[in-house]
Structure 1
Amino acid sequence: MKPVLLTTALFTVLLTGFTPGSTKDVLPDPPAKNAFVLPVYTPLPLGAIKPKGWLLHQLQIMRDGTTGHLDEVYDKVKHDNGWTGGKGDGWEETPYWLDGAVPLAYLLEDKTLQTKVLKYINWTLDHQRPSGYFGPLTKGERERGIQITAANCDEGEDWWPKMVMLKVLRQYYTATNDPRVLPFMTKYFHYQLEVLKKCQLGKWTEWASSRGADNVLTAQWLYTKTKDARLLELAEMIASQAFAWSTWLGNRDWVIGAAAQQNSDHWMRRHGVNVAMGLKDPAVNYQRTGDKRYLDALHTGFSDLMALHGLPMGIFSADEDLNGNDPTQGTELCAIVESMFSLEETIGVTGDIRYMDALERMTFNALPTQTTDDYNGKQYFQIANQVQVKRGVFNFSLPFDREMNNVFGMRSGYTCCLANMHQGWTKFASHLWYATADNGLAALAFSPNEVTTKVGKSGTEVTIREITDYPFEDMVHFEFTAKTPATFLFQIRIPSWCAEAVITVNGSELRREKGGQVITINRTWKNKDKLSLQLPMTVTTSNWGRNSRAVERGPLVYALKLKEKWEKGHQQDEGDYFSIYPENDWNYGLLEQTIQAPEKDLKVKQVKPVTDSFVWNLAHAPIEITAPAKQIPGWQLSNDVAPQPVTDRNGIYKGKVAAEQTAITLVPYGCTKVRIVAFPVVK
């Protein structure tokens, strides 16, 4: 099955063909049976990809920070943990943490961290009940000595945290081939199939119903290993009891309703993290059924989601609900990492470049800005135009009484993100490469790394070293090492933002290709062969909520560089935190002439190299863009945010602006903590 090659710009959406009030199911017919579709791309085993350069340093920071030490610094996970037989945390936070700590342990080949995570994995695998049920000991088991069986399944506990632990075990198996894992999963899924009619998915919490696609995902992965038909029967049953994300994404009522309503009715359908997890639902259903209407539903839903709720850094508002596209709305960190995982899975099933582009955009822009340099603190909600970070209520759909949802801290806001943030970089690093159906390799996301795997009909082992400072530079070099020549298909993504890529092999130009496709190079690769990919990056501007404009170059969005003043505080319930304030003016508008001819006015300069000790902060920002701008005196804070100035239908602010121009400096969004990224336009 060949990848779908599309050149449609990611966020260009024409909202046509919508009938207001329509509630018809987007998939009115029963899905096809026994039509399982093999994925276009298969993730490589965990450990086959070795991060290098700045990406390796990012993972090392995580190892030295909370990813490597959450069980030591966070009491909820630290004390008497339910996932090691205790009475402590037995719900989502320990599996959330392991979902990032396990891939980190094997990406870094860190024996200390491997030993640490194995304590939880071994207890889980070794304490499966005879019925197939697994997880922390239940109240009935502890206090009354009961055994959980299909007959008394109501003595069990929530399905949801088990879905996360199954994701953990899947990754662990690809790294180790531990023979305990597949029988463990099979026994559990047989138990689940037997009892779901009595103890349905939503019996304990609506979280399980809203996130059932994660359960289906793992069952269908196991099917690719064992070909047990009961797993597909289970997948159908789970899908029938879970939130109908495929239907909602394809039916535009849902996303429009989410934009219009912010009350308590059906709020779980608008919850940003649920939406992020639900994005994979159409791809998962398509894989099981082969029904291409699921892919249409995903295309419609994702495009509509970004049109009505999208923000310049590539993610949708989720504070906690979907909340429109105003650049003063927030986004929860969990929504980013879960969206990334959904896209990584969707890419594998569909081979659709739209989701590769979307993954790249949110990874290099939205993800890095929401954690501290040492990876010991996080921000529950980030704001696109974030001119200060402080305690407050803000215009979020979930205002906390303690006003801690915008500051940086270990325990500020809900601690789900403290546990869950670790899967973002680790899973991105493990999905830089995919295997193709014909035993080839596909480079679908770019960062410095080295991959070793067997390729071609002969199964020849090859190592490819990817040398690059991407996303900051436009060159990606691939150096091949093989004991014998290897003939295989090498696929490379050409991002949609790239007008024309240049591919050279051993110094000679091979071909030029337009952006928005995955290209295939079929040749015999020899030891020390070198392929170079040049992706010229031009500066452009894009249109966002309330007629704002963002400056882009390649995969990066650029924001106003503001000197940061950090202030440490303490809150009794949520501990230490940081507020951050700008030390220079932020209220600037871009000139209309710049929007009309960005390459003329926007000057790009590399101000420092990208080294192996790179950190996503102002001190390390390697690229700066200078732009002419004018100050808007009337653009001031209101209720602790900077509401977007009113424009006319042509997108021009008509209020008073400074007469003189000022040269402002922009840096990569991911390097900022306070900033303007969605600029008003002035004459």
Structure 2
Amino acid sequence: MKYAGLASASPVFDSSFDWLGDPAKSVRTGEFQLLPLGSVQPKGWLRRQLEIQANGLSGHLDETWPDVGPKSGWLGGTGESWERGPYFLDGLIPLAYLLGDERLKAKAQRFVDWTLKSQTADGMFGPASNNDWWPRMVMLKALAQYQEATADPRVVPMMQRYFKYQLAALPNRPLTSWGRFRWQDQVLTVLWLYDRAPDPALLDLAKLLRAQGYDWMAQYENFQYKEKMSSAHLDQMEKMPGFKDIKLATHGVNNGQAVKTGAIWSRVSGADSDRQAVLKMIAELDRYHGLPNGMFSCDEHLAGRSPSQGSELCTVVEYMYSLEQSLAVLGDASLADRLEKLAFNALPGTMTDDMWAHQYDQQPNQVECSLHKEPWSTNGPESNLYGLEPHFGCCTANFSQGWPKFAANLFMTSAQGAVVAAAYSPCEAQLKLQGTNVHIAQETEYPFRGSIRMAVNPSKPVKFPFLLRIPGWADGAEIAVNGRKENAPSAGTFARVDREWKQGDVITISFPMQPRVITGFNNSVSVERGPLVFSYNIGQDWLKLRDRGMTADWQVYPSSRWNYALAVDPAGSSQKITVTERALGDRPFAAEGTPTQLQVKAKLLPSWMANEGTAAVVPESPVESAEKEETIALVPYAAAKLRITSFPRLKESS
């Protein structure tokens, strides 16, 4: 790999690099290639989001939470020695290097240096008090990112020694528990190393991990987990033949990580059926557990389609990561559509605007955040509080990876030498194509606006294809180069613009941003515009439960009525919805000053009530109401910390 320098925070991706070494030993390449960390830099509102994160819990977690503090086992201390240190580093490294933040780099470096020095003569590394394979899978992901950003020469040999050790040790100490269900995350790192230092033994290790790991693709070929998995249901099924692993098989985070299994494994198997398993898994999750924010329910186990159920924050960021990795292998535009939906809705929707507190579980229909046992499938009463570590601390350690990895993967390249605009947000990319440096600057207020401008500036004229993703909702999109319109692109594809590019060339993309009415669970309706999902913002009273070092835990109670039914066209027409746009502020996902609002006619539905702080199951539509018609405002999902996202639909006569 060619970099501008050892300590550069902006490595230049060289598409002429031989990623697979000796073709006789190589594994299958994906349709696209991910760029090394730092090739894409966030700008505009996206950079501001990362800065808020750095100034919030992510950038100070080690100062206020002992699990990743100075006594962490991953710093040689006697503290937590399992997954939390690696989780923290997995998000801290891309955050630090994308921002060029020396303070955060220094925090990350302490973990990296200790981990690299911890390796023993046989190849094992990490805290001696814990020999579980699983946390080391996470640490390897973090080290791969660190190596891409710094070219530190210690990382590749360290991985080679560890993988040699593991190949010898696994037959007598096989994968168990979390590692057995998350084996694909290590295969990902094994192939990362193979792409840089081909060795047939690495493929032997990948095959052994697959053989010992859980068969996710078989689970989704005959998907049986079609209902809410309550604790009693899980305990009962666990006693039945063939279901001894049901608690791990229906665990939300495991399934979020598993989505990429087929894509990753197809690089070894070469089987198209493995590639298509990604889409099969997403389709089954949507069919039986899909929610209007793009997530599937998992609080903490699969929980059906009611929008009053929740999703774990760990699952949001792991699902995003699975989509990024799967997109690179499959080149399927729908995966990027889903990635954007999660990034612009579910991810910011589960954190306070200053990112000093987060939820363990978020709900699309979330009318109260308080100490109630309902409606969770298996979680506890603190699940939807905003705080330091509500319910359980895994998400506290893990959530930081969401925004940085999304920003790092906005651009990709293809095996045919094309530049790929995979997802859209303000950024710039530095690439090397056919030996020519190419700088691309993307200016946009997307997802709040539908216009995108890309300035393409090669150091000298160079011919290459540019693949521009056209979202599946974007019928009528337009593309122009230097003011001249290209052929009308098709929604749900990558539009190809193939030409010789020169300094000063400009691509403009215009996406239609009409509101869309989507029918969901119980024929309820939700409203989308572009990749944004919109919600009714319930009035809020925040009550501090307790101080937690530099942050606090909060309950949130409703201060306004929320039980509305919408007067919208069941065919999905947006004629009755009015759009209001305002300037983007420093916090575009905050309720105060939100850049986009929708106005829609609605009536209160008094029969739809809450129980134990949870909105009752959304009534079957259509419904009738004798209440007075009102005009209510809908805001982007993430702006409403208490919200209704799935509404009953009024009968026309009502």
TM-score by length of 1: 0.88
1:210 pairs with one of 157, 160, 181: 181
Q: Is the 8 A contact 2:263 2:275 kept in 1?
A: yes
Which amino acid in the other structure matches residue 75 of structure 2? T
The match for 2:508 among 532, 537, 547 is 532
CA distance in 2, matches of 1:572, 1:538: 43
User: Is the CA contact (8 Å cut-off) linking 2:66 and 2:79 kept in structure 1?
Assistant: no
160 and 547 in structure 1: CA distance in 2 versus 1, 3 angstrom threshold: same
Aligned residue in 1 for 2:155: 181
Are 1:101 and 2:89 an aligned pair? no
Structure 1 pair 597–251 and aligned structure 2 pair: CA distance change class (3 A): closer
Q: Structure 1 residues 179, 451: CA separation in 2 closer, same or farther (over 3 Å shift)?
A: same
Q: Could you tell me which of 97, 117, 131 is aligned with 1:126?
A: 117
Q: Please point out which of 606, 626, 634 is paired with 2:607.
A: 634
Cα distance in 1 for residues equivalent to 2:638 and 2:343? 9
Aligned residues: 619
Q: Per-residue deviation at 1:489?
A: 1.5
| 1:548–1:679 Cα contact (<8 Å) kept | yes
Question: 1:274-293 maps to which residues of 2 (within 5 A)?
Answer: 274-293=254-273
Name the aligned partner's letter for residue 454 of structure 1.
Answer: K
Amino acid at match of 2:575: K
Equivalent in the alignment of 1:561: 537
1:359 match: 339
8 Å CA contact 1:251, 1:297 repeated in 2: no
For residue 240 of structure 1, the aligned residue among 211, 218, 228 is: 211
Q: In the TM superposition, what is the alpha-carbon distance from 1:576 to its structure 2 partner?
A: 3.2
- What letter matches 2:143 in structure 1? L
1:242-296 deviation per Cα after TM superposition (whole angstroms, max 9, x unaligned)? 1111211222235569699842322111000011111111111111111111123
Secondary structure (helix, strand or coil) at the match of 1:605 reads strand
- Secondary structure (helix, strand or coil) at the match of 1:594 reads coil
Match of 1:198 in 2: 172
CA separation of 1:439 and 1:176: change in aligned 2, threshold 3 A: farther
Alpha-carbon contact 2:534-2:634 (below 8 Å) kept: yes
Q: Which moved more, 1:269-278 or 1:571-580?
A: 571-580
Matches within 5 A, 1:386-465: 386-400=366-380, 403-455=381-433, 457=434, 459-465=435-441
C-alpha change, 1:188 and 1:645, in structure 2 (3 Å) is: closer
Give, in whole Å, the separation in 2 of the partners of 1:448 and 1:293. 35
Amino acid at match of 1:375: M
CA RMSD, aligned part only? Answer: 2.0
Distance 1:259 1:67, change over 3 A: same
- 2:518–2:572 Cα contact (<8 Å) kept: no
Match of 2:191, as an amino acid? Q
Q: Which moved more, 1:539-548 or 1:552-561?
A: 539-548
2:355 to 375, 379, 397: 375
Deviations 1:510-554 (Å, cap 9, x if unpaired)? 221120101221111111111101111121111222221101111
Q: Could you give the per-residue CA deviations for residues 549-573 of structure 1, whole angstroms, max 9, x where no partner exists?
A: 1011111111112232222122899
Structure 2 residue corresponding to 1:223, chosen from 177, 180, 194:
194
**Equivalent runs, 1:6-405 vs 2, <5 Å:** 36-138=27-129, 157-202=131-176, 206-255=177-226, 262-264=233-235, 265=238, 266-400=246-380, 403-405=381-383
Q: Percent identity?
A: 37
Query: What code does the residue aligned with 1:78 have?
Result: G
Find the counterpart in structure 2 of residue 547 from structure 1.
Answer: 523
* Residue of structure 2 equivalent to 1:30: none
1:475 has 2:451 as partner: yes
Q: Which amino acid aligns with 2:37?
A: L
**C-alpha distance in structure 2 between counterparts of 1:259 and 1:34, whole Å:** 47
Moved more, 75-84 or 499-508: 75-84
Q: Contact conserved, 1:569 with 1:576, CA < 8 A, in 2? A: yes
Question: What does the per-residue CA deviation read over 1:15-56, in whole Å, with 9 as the maximum and x for residues that have no partner?
Answer: xxxxxxxxxxxxxxxxxx978211111111111111111110
* Aligned equivalents of 1:442, 1:399: Cα separation in 2: 40
CA contact (8 A) 1:331 1:382 kept: yes
- Cα distance, 1:673 vs. partner? 0.3
- The alpha-carbon deviation at position 584 of structure 1 amounts to 2.2
The correspondence of residues 476-491 of structure 1 with structure 2, limited to 5 A, is 476-491=452-467
- Which stretch shows the higher mean deviation, 672-681 or 246-255? 246-255
Distance across 1 between alignment mates of 2:226 and 2:154:
42
Q: Which residue identity is paired with 2:611?
A: S
SS at match of 2:615: coil
Of residues 618, 622, 642 in structure 1, which corresponds to 2:595? Answer: 622
What is residue 241 of structure 2 aligned with on the other side?
A: none
CA distance in 2, matches of 1:328, 1:634: 16
The structural deviation recorded for 1:669 is 0.6
Residues 119 and 158 of structure 2 are in contact (CA less than 8 Å); yes or no, is this contact kept in structure 1?
yes
Write the distance in 2 (CA, Å) between the matches of 1:257 and 1:57.
38
1:260 and 1:389 map into 2 onto residues whose CA distance is 22
**In structure 2, distance between residues paired with 1:127 and 1:452:** 35
Equivalent in the alignment of 1:25: none
* 1:660 maps to which of 616, 628, 645: 628
8 Å Cα contact 1:248-1:301 kept in structure 2: no
What one-letter code is carried by the residue in structure 1 that aligns with 2:144?
A: R
Deviation at 1:342, TM superposition (A): 0.6
1:644 is matched by which residue type in structure 2? V
- 1:116-160 C-alpha deviation (Å, 9 max, x unpaired): 10111111112211111111133xxxxxxxxxxxxxxxxx61000
Aligned to 2:137, the other structure's residue is in SS state helix
Aligned CA distance change for structure 1 residues 355 and 493 (closer, same or farther; 3 Å): same
- Structure 2 residues without counterparts, runs of 5 or longer: 1-23, 239-245
Give 1:598 shift. 2.7
Change (3 A) 1:484 1:259: farther
User: Cα–Cα, structure 1 residues 255 and 179, in superposed 2: closer, same or farther, change >3 Å?
Assistant: farther
Gaps of 5+ in 1: 1-32, 139-155
Q: Is residue 360–residue 392 contact of structure 2 (8 Å, CA) maintained in 1? A: yes
Is the Cα–Cα contact under 8 Å of residues 35 and 290 in structure 1 kept in the other structure? no
Residues 630-657 of structure 1, C-alpha deviation per residue, up to 9 Å, x if partnerless? 111111111211113432xxx3125xx1
Q: In structure 2, the residue corresponding to 1:428 is in which secondary structure?
A: helix
Shift of 1:501: 1.4
The structural deviation recorded for 1:505 is 1.1
User: Which of 594, 604, 609 does residue 579 from structure 2 map onto?
Assistant: 604
Whether the 8 Å CA contact 2:357–2:551 is kept in 1: the answer is no
* Aligned residues of 1:486 and 1:524 also touching (Cα < 8 A): yes
- Residue type at the aligned position of 1:108: L
Q: Is the 8 A contact 1:85 1:137 kept in 2?
A: no
